[in-house]
Protein backbone atom coordinates (compact mmCIF):
# COMPACT_ATOMS: atom_id res chain seq x y z
CA UNK A 1 0.00 0.00 0.00
CA UNK A 2 1.19 3.46 -0.89
CA UNK A 3 1.97 5.79 1.99
CA UNK A 4 0.38 9.20 1.98
CA UNK A 5 2.70 12.14 1.84
CA UNK A 6 1.83 15.81 2.08
CA UNK A 7 4.14 18.48 0.64
CA UNK A 8 3.50 21.99 1.89
CA UNK A 9 5.04 23.68 -1.16
CA UNK A 10 6.24 23.41 -4.73
CA UNK A 11 9.85 22.16 -4.55
CA UNK A 12 12.64 21.72 -7.13
CA UNK A 13 12.15 18.74 -9.45
CA UNK A 14 15.09 16.81 -7.95
CA UNK A 15 12.95 15.97 -4.94
CA UNK A 16 9.78 15.30 -6.91
CA UNK A 17 11.64 12.75 -9.03
CA UNK A 18 12.72 10.83 -5.95
CA UNK A 19 9.24 10.86 -4.48
CA UNK A 20 7.72 9.43 -7.65
CA UNK A 21 10.54 7.07 -8.66
CA UNK A 22 10.61 5.12 -5.43
CA UNK A 23 6.97 4.06 -5.74
CA UNK A 24 6.59 4.25 -1.99
CA UNK A 25 4.31 7.21 -1.68
CA UNK A 26 1.21 8.87 -2.95
CA UNK A 27 1.90 12.59 -2.96
CA UNK A 28 -0.50 15.40 -2.35
CA UNK A 29 0.83 18.90 -2.40
CA UNK A 30 0.09 22.56 -1.83
CA UNK A 31 1.17 23.23 -5.39
CA UNK A 32 2.32 26.82 -5.05
CA UNK A 33 5.42 28.90 -4.41
CA UNK A 34 3.52 30.59 -1.58
CA UNK A 35 2.93 28.95 1.82
CA UNK A 36 -0.18 26.89 2.34
CA UNK A 37 -2.65 28.83 4.49
CA UNK A 38 -2.88 27.28 7.94
CA UNK A 39 -6.29 25.74 7.20
CA UNK A 40 -4.92 24.05 4.07
CA UNK A 41 -1.96 22.71 6.02
CA UNK A 42 -4.27 21.28 8.68
CA UNK A 43 -6.43 19.72 5.98
CA UNK A 44 -3.53 18.49 3.87
CA UNK A 45 -1.82 16.55 6.65
CA UNK A 46 -4.92 14.55 7.58
CA UNK A 47 -4.07 10.87 7.53
CA UNK A 48 -0.59 11.51 6.10
CA UNK A 49 2.26 9.12 6.87
CA UNK A 50 4.86 11.65 5.83
CA UNK A 51 5.08 15.44 5.82
CA UNK A 52 7.58 17.47 3.81
CA UNK A 53 7.57 21.02 5.13
CA UNK A 54 9.37 24.38 4.90
CA UNK A 55 10.93 26.52 7.62
CA UNK A 56 7.94 28.84 7.32
CA UNK A 57 5.49 26.09 8.35
CA UNK A 58 4.97 25.97 12.09
CA UNK A 59 4.65 22.29 12.96
CA UNK A 60 3.09 22.17 16.42
CA UNK A 61 0.69 19.95 18.38
CA UNK A 62 -2.26 21.25 16.36
CA UNK A 63 -0.72 20.08 13.08
CA UNK A 64 0.38 16.75 14.57
CA UNK A 65 -3.11 16.15 15.96
CA UNK A 66 -4.66 17.07 12.62
CA UNK A 67 -2.35 14.57 10.92
CA UNK A 68 -3.31 11.79 13.31
CA UNK A 69 -1.55 8.57 14.27
CA UNK A 70 -0.38 7.63 10.75
CA UNK A 71 2.29 10.33 10.78
CA UNK A 72 5.69 8.69 11.08
CA UNK A 73 8.10 11.07 9.35
CA UNK A 74 8.55 14.82 9.06
CA UNK A 75 11.13 16.04 6.60
CA UNK A 76 11.99 19.71 6.65
CA UNK A 77 13.49 21.50 3.67
CA UNK A 78 15.92 23.39 5.94
CA UNK A 79 18.80 23.01 8.33
CA UNK A 80 17.02 25.05 11.01
CA UNK A 81 14.33 23.28 13.00
CA UNK A 82 13.08 25.95 15.39
CA UNK A 83 9.73 25.77 13.53
CA UNK A 84 9.27 22.17 14.68
CA UNK A 85 7.84 21.48 18.15
CA UNK A 86 10.41 18.79 18.84
CA UNK A 87 8.98 17.77 22.23
CA UNK A 88 5.57 17.10 20.72
CA UNK A 89 7.12 15.33 17.76
CA UNK A 90 9.29 13.05 19.88
CA UNK A 91 6.39 12.31 22.23
CA UNK A 92 4.57 10.87 19.24
CA UNK A 93 7.56 8.85 18.07
CA UNK A 94 7.82 10.72 14.78
CA UNK A 95 11.20 10.78 13.02
CA UNK A 96 12.59 14.01 11.60
CA UNK A 97 14.83 14.63 8.61
CA UNK A 98 16.56 17.93 7.79
CA UNK A 99 19.14 19.31 5.35
CA UNK A 100 22.45 20.15 7.05
CA UNK A 101 25.80 20.26 5.20
CA UNK A 102 24.40 20.67 1.68
CA UNK A 103 23.65 24.35 2.29
CA UNK A 104 26.73 25.25 4.31
CA UNK A 105 28.75 26.67 1.40
CA UNK A 106 25.88 28.64 -0.11
CA UNK A 107 24.91 30.10 3.25
CA UNK A 108 28.47 31.04 4.19
CA UNK A 109 28.93 32.68 0.80
CA UNK A 110 25.75 34.70 1.31
CA UNK A 111 26.94 35.73 4.76
CA UNK A 112 30.17 37.08 3.29
CA UNK A 113 28.26 38.88 0.53
CA UNK A 114 25.95 40.46 3.08
CA UNK A 115 28.84 41.42 5.35
CA UNK A 116 30.75 43.10 2.53
CA UNK A 117 27.64 44.80 1.13
CA UNK A 118 26.79 46.18 4.52
CA UNK A 119 30.31 47.19 5.50
CA UNK A 120 31.05 48.80 2.13
CA UNK A 121 27.55 50.27 1.81
CA UNK A 122 26.73 48.80 -1.59
CA UNK A 123 22.93 49.18 -1.40
CA UNK A 124 23.32 52.88 -0.51
CA UNK A 125 25.73 53.30 -3.40
CA UNK A 126 23.38 51.60 -5.87
CA UNK A 127 20.57 53.84 -4.67
CA UNK A 128 22.65 57.01 -5.11
CA UNK A 129 23.54 56.05 -8.68
CA UNK A 130 19.85 55.61 -9.49
CA UNK A 131 18.57 58.74 -7.77
CA UNK A 132 21.16 61.18 -9.08
CA UNK A 133 23.05 61.48 -5.79
CA UNK A 134 26.31 60.58 -7.58
CA UNK A 135 27.58 64.10 -8.31
CA UNK A 136 31.29 63.32 -8.48
CA UNK A 137 34.01 61.17 -6.93
CA UNK A 138 34.41 62.42 -3.37
CA UNK A 139 37.08 61.49 -0.82
CA UNK A 140 34.66 61.37 2.08
CA UNK A 141 31.61 59.91 0.38
CA UNK A 142 30.13 56.50 1.15
CA UNK A 143 33.13 55.28 3.09
CA UNK A 144 32.73 52.07 4.99
CA UNK A 145 34.76 49.53 6.90
CA UNK A 146 37.18 46.97 5.44
CA UNK A 147 38.06 43.46 6.55
CA UNK A 148 41.81 43.84 6.31
CA UNK A 149 43.47 43.68 9.75
CA UNK A 150 40.07 43.37 11.40
CA UNK A 151 38.75 41.17 14.17
CA UNK A 152 35.73 39.05 13.32
CA UNK A 153 33.50 37.59 16.02
CA UNK A 154 31.37 34.57 15.19
CA UNK A 155 28.50 33.69 17.46
CA UNK A 156 27.86 29.99 16.91
CA UNK A 157 30.91 28.39 15.30
CA UNK A 158 29.10 25.38 13.83
CA UNK A 159 29.33 24.14 10.26
CA UNK A 160 28.15 27.42 8.78
CA UNK A 161 30.13 29.59 11.21
CA UNK A 162 33.30 27.68 10.32
CA UNK A 163 32.64 28.05 6.60
CA UNK A 164 32.20 31.80 7.08
CA UNK A 165 35.45 32.08 9.05
CA UNK A 166 37.29 30.12 6.35
CA UNK A 167 35.99 32.45 3.65
CA UNK A 168 36.81 35.62 5.59
CA UNK A 169 40.40 34.67 6.43
CA UNK A 170 41.79 35.41 2.93
CA UNK A 171 40.52 38.99 3.25
CA UNK A 172 43.30 39.61 5.74
CA UNK A 173 41.29 39.22 8.92
CA UNK A 174 43.67 39.40 11.88
CA UNK A 175 41.71 37.55 14.55
CA UNK A 176 38.70 35.26 14.60
CA UNK A 177 36.88 35.15 17.93
CA UNK A 178 33.96 32.91 18.72
CA UNK A 179 31.67 32.31 21.61
CA UNK A 180 29.03 29.75 22.42
CA UNK A 181 28.38 26.97 24.87
CA UNK A 182 31.66 25.12 24.35
CA UNK A 183 35.08 25.50 22.77
CA UNK A 184 35.36 23.66 19.44
CA UNK A 185 38.53 21.66 18.71
CA UNK A 186 38.08 22.27 14.97
CA UNK A 187 38.28 26.05 15.55
CA UNK A 188 42.06 25.65 15.29
CA UNK A 189 41.61 25.38 11.50
CA UNK A 190 40.73 29.09 11.44
CA UNK A 191 42.85 30.07 14.46
CA UNK A 192 39.57 30.73 16.23
CA UNK A 193 39.86 32.01 19.79
CA UNK A 194 37.14 30.91 22.21
CA UNK A 195 36.27 33.98 24.29
CA UNK A 196 33.48 35.10 26.62
CA UNK A 197 30.67 36.85 24.77
CA UNK A 198 31.56 40.20 26.35
CA UNK A 199 35.10 40.00 24.96
CA UNK A 200 33.79 39.09 21.54
CA UNK A 201 31.46 42.09 21.62
CA UNK A 202 34.06 44.60 22.78
CA UNK A 203 36.88 43.42 20.49
CA UNK A 204 35.15 42.60 17.19
CA UNK A 205 34.93 44.87 14.16
CA UNK A 206 32.46 42.49 12.54
CA UNK A 207 30.02 40.25 14.38
CA UNK A 208 28.31 37.43 12.55
CA UNK A 209 25.48 35.50 14.17
CA UNK A 210 25.35 31.93 12.84
CA UNK A 211 24.00 30.04 15.84
CA UNK A 212 20.74 28.14 15.86
CA UNK A 213 17.66 29.61 17.49
CA UNK A 214 17.10 28.01 20.88
CA UNK A 215 15.63 29.23 24.17
CA UNK A 216 19.24 30.19 25.08
CA UNK A 217 19.84 32.31 21.97
CA UNK A 218 16.37 33.85 21.66
CA UNK A 219 16.71 37.63 22.12
CA UNK A 220 20.47 37.28 22.72
CA UNK A 221 21.24 40.41 20.69
CA UNK A 222 19.58 43.06 22.81
CA UNK A 223 20.28 46.54 24.17
CA UNK A 224 23.06 45.35 26.49
CA UNK A 225 24.61 43.32 23.66
CA UNK A 226 24.71 46.24 21.20
CA UNK A 227 25.95 48.65 23.89
CA UNK A 228 29.06 46.48 24.34
CA UNK A 229 29.94 46.59 20.63
CA UNK A 230 32.35 49.09 19.07
CA UNK A 231 30.67 52.14 17.53
CA UNK A 232 32.42 51.25 14.27
CA UNK A 233 31.31 47.60 14.30
CA UNK A 234 29.13 45.85 11.75
CA UNK A 235 26.49 43.34 12.86
CA UNK A 236 25.37 40.52 10.56
CA UNK A 237 22.65 37.95 11.25
CA UNK A 238 22.11 34.92 9.03
CA UNK A 239 20.59 32.58 11.62
CA UNK A 240 17.06 33.40 12.74
CA UNK A 241 15.41 36.77 13.31
CA UNK A 242 14.35 35.92 16.85
CA UNK A 243 17.97 35.87 18.04
CA UNK A 244 17.74 39.68 17.74
CA UNK A 245 15.62 42.14 19.66
CA UNK A 246 14.75 44.34 16.68
CA UNK A 247 13.62 47.36 18.72
CA UNK A 248 17.01 47.36 20.45
CA UNK A 249 18.81 46.94 17.12
CA UNK A 250 16.85 49.85 15.68
CA UNK A 251 17.87 52.10 18.58
CA UNK A 252 21.52 51.02 18.34
CA UNK A 253 21.61 51.79 14.60
CA UNK A 254 19.68 55.04 14.94
CA UNK A 255 21.82 56.34 17.81
CA UNK A 256 25.14 55.38 16.26
CA UNK A 257 25.83 52.79 18.95
CA UNK A 258 26.97 50.49 16.12
CA UNK A 259 27.86 51.33 12.51
CA UNK A 260 25.55 49.10 10.48
CA UNK A 261 23.63 45.85 10.32
CA UNK A 262 23.05 43.28 7.59
CA UNK A 263 20.13 40.94 8.15
CA UNK A 264 19.17 37.90 6.09
CA UNK A 265 16.57 36.95 8.69
CA UNK A 266 13.96 39.00 10.53
CA UNK A 267 10.90 38.78 12.75
CA UNK A 268 8.47 38.40 11.20
CA UNK A 269 9.30 37.12 7.73
CA UNK A 270 8.46 38.82 5.48
CA UNK A 271 9.30 42.04 7.31
CA UNK A 272 6.46 44.56 6.75
CA UNK A 273 7.54 47.24 4.28
CA UNK A 274 6.73 49.96 6.84
CA UNK A 275 9.05 48.45 9.47
CA UNK A 276 11.27 51.08 11.18
CA UNK A 277 14.45 49.12 10.35
CA UNK A 278 13.76 49.74 6.67
CA UNK A 279 13.93 53.51 7.18
CA UNK A 280 17.61 53.28 8.17
CA UNK A 281 20.36 53.64 5.59
CA UNK A 282 22.74 51.65 7.76
CA UNK A 283 20.51 48.59 7.83
CA UNK A 284 20.64 46.17 4.90
CA UNK A 285 17.80 43.67 4.91
CA UNK A 286 17.58 40.80 2.44
CA UNK A 287 14.82 38.17 2.27
CA UNK A 288 16.26 34.99 3.83
CA UNK A 289 18.47 34.00 0.89
CA UNK A 290 21.13 31.99 2.72
CA UNK A 291 20.74 28.74 0.80
CA UNK A 292 19.32 30.31 -2.36
CA UNK A 293 21.49 29.02 -5.17
CA UNK A 294 19.93 26.89 -7.91
CA UNK A 295 22.21 23.96 -7.21
CA UNK A 296 21.88 24.07 -3.43
CA UNK A 297 18.10 24.22 -3.54
CA UNK A 298 18.12 21.26 -5.92
CA UNK A 299 20.30 19.23 -3.57
CA UNK A 300 18.18 20.25 -0.58
CA UNK A 301 15.10 19.08 -2.44
CA UNK A 302 16.63 15.69 -3.18
CA UNK A 303 17.86 15.28 0.38
CA UNK A 304 14.51 16.26 1.91
CA UNK A 305 12.75 13.76 -0.38
CA UNK A 306 15.23 10.98 0.35
CA UNK A 307 14.95 11.58 4.10
CA UNK A 308 11.20 11.24 3.77
CA UNK A 309 11.23 8.10 1.63
CA UNK A 310 13.82 6.34 3.77
CA UNK A 311 11.98 7.31 6.93
CA UNK A 312 8.72 5.92 5.58
CA UNK A 313 10.48 2.64 4.80
CA UNK A 314 11.95 2.44 8.28
CA UNK A 315 15.46 2.79 6.88
CA UNK A 316 18.29 5.10 7.91
CA UNK A 317 17.84 8.63 6.62
CA UNK A 318 20.73 10.42 4.91
CA UNK A 319 20.22 13.24 7.46
CA UNK A 320 18.11 12.40 10.46
CA UNK A 321 17.74 14.99 13.18
CA UNK A 322 18.51 13.50 16.55
CA UNK A 323 18.09 16.03 19.35
C1 LIG B 1 17.55 28.25 6.36
O2 LIG B 1 17.45 29.19 7.10
C3 LIG B 1 17.51 26.89 6.79
O4 LIG B 1 17.29 26.64 7.98
O5 LIG B 1 17.66 26.01 5.93
C1 LIG C 1 24.05 25.74 11.80
O2 LIG C 1 23.00 25.40 11.34
C3 LIG C 1 25.30 25.14 11.43
O4 LIG C 1 25.25 24.16 10.67
O5 LIG C 1 26.32 25.67 11.83
Res 67: pLDDT: 98
- Tell me, yes or no, whether 183 and 70 share the same domain: no
Task: Give residue-wise pLDDT tens across range 47-68.
Answer: 999 999 999 999 999 999 999 9
Whole-number percent of the chain with pLDDT over 70: 100
Q: Is 160 in the pocket of ligand 2 (CB under 6 A)?
A: yes
**Same structural domain, 52 and 141:** no
CA distance 54 to 272: 20
- Looking up residue 25, the CATH number of its domain turns out to be 3.40.50.720
Distance, CA 82 to ligand 1 centroid (Å)? 10
Q: Is the pLDDT of residue 261 over 90?
A: yes
Confirm whether 49 is a catalytic residue.
no
Judge contact between 189 and 162, C-beta under 8 A. Answer: yes
Q: Is residue 319 part of a domain?
A: no
- How do residues 87-102 score in pLDDT, each as one tens digit? 999 999 999 999 999 9
CA 132 to centroid of ligand 2, rounded, Å: 42
Specify whether 247 is located in the same domain as 151: yes
- Same-domain check for residues 115 and 259: yes
Residue 320 lies in a domain: no
Residue 321 lies in a domain: no
Q: Do 158 and 303 share a domain, yes or no?
A: no
Indicate if 132 and 260 belong to the same structural domain. Answer: yes
ipTM of the complex: 0.77
* 33 Cα to the center of ligand 2, angstroms: 25
pLDDT band with cut points at 50, 70 and 90 for residue 27: very high
pLDDT value, residue 22: 85
Residue numbers of the domain that contains 305? 3-100+294-312
Residue 84 lies in a domain: yes
Q: How far are the Cα atoms of 105, 162, 286, 302 from residue 102, in angstroms, in the given order?
A: 7, 14, 21, 10
Residue 167 sits in the same domain as residue 254:
yes
Q: Note if the pTM is more than 0.80.
A: yes
Same domain, 212 and 307: no
Judgement on whether residues 112 and 240 belong to the same structural domain of the protein: yes
Considering the domain architecture, whether residues 210 and 301 belong to the same structural domain is answered as: no
Q: Does the CB atom of residue 180 touch ligand 2 within 6 A? A: no
- Omega of the bond prior to 268 within 30 degrees of 0, cis? yes
Q: Tens digits of per-residue pLDDT, 128-182?
A: 999 999 999 999 999 999 999 999 999 999 999 999 999 999 999 999 999 999 9
Asked, for residue 116, whether it belongs to a domain, the answer is yes
186 and 247 inside one domain: yes
- Which pLDDT belongs to residue 323? 86
Pocket test for ligand 2, best of 187, 210, 321 (most atoms within 8 A of CB): 210
User: Is 323 inside a domain boundary?
Assistant: no
- Residue 318 included in any domain: no
Identify which ligand lies nearest to the alpha carbon of 105. Answer: 2
Ligand lying nearest the CA atom of residue 239: 1
The reply to whether 298 falls in a domain is yes
Q: State mean pLDDT over 10-31.
A: 95
Number of compact structural domains in the chain: 2
Is the bond preceding 270 in cis, omega lying within 30 degrees of 0? yes
Q: What is the average pLDDT score of the chain?
A: 98
Lay out the sheet containing 50-53: strands in order across: 25-29, 3-7, 50-53, 73-76, 95-97
Average pLDDT over residues 230-255: 98
Distance 107 CA to ligand 1 centre (A): 9
Residues 47 and 94 in one domain: yes
- The per-residue pLDDT for range 198-210, each reduced to its tens digit, is 999 999 999 999 9
**Ligand 1 pocket: which of 291, 299, 300, 304 to mutate (most atoms within 8 A of CB):** 291
Amino acid sequence: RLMKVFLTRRIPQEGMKILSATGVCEVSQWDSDEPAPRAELLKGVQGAHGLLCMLSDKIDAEVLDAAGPNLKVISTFSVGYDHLAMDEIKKRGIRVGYTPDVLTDATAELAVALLLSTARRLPEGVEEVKNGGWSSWKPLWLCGHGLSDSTVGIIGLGRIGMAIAQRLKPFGVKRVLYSGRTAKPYAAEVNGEFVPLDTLLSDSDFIVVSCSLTPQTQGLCDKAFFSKMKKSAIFVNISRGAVVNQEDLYEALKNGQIAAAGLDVTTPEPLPTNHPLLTLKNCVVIPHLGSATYSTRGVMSALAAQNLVNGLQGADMPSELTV
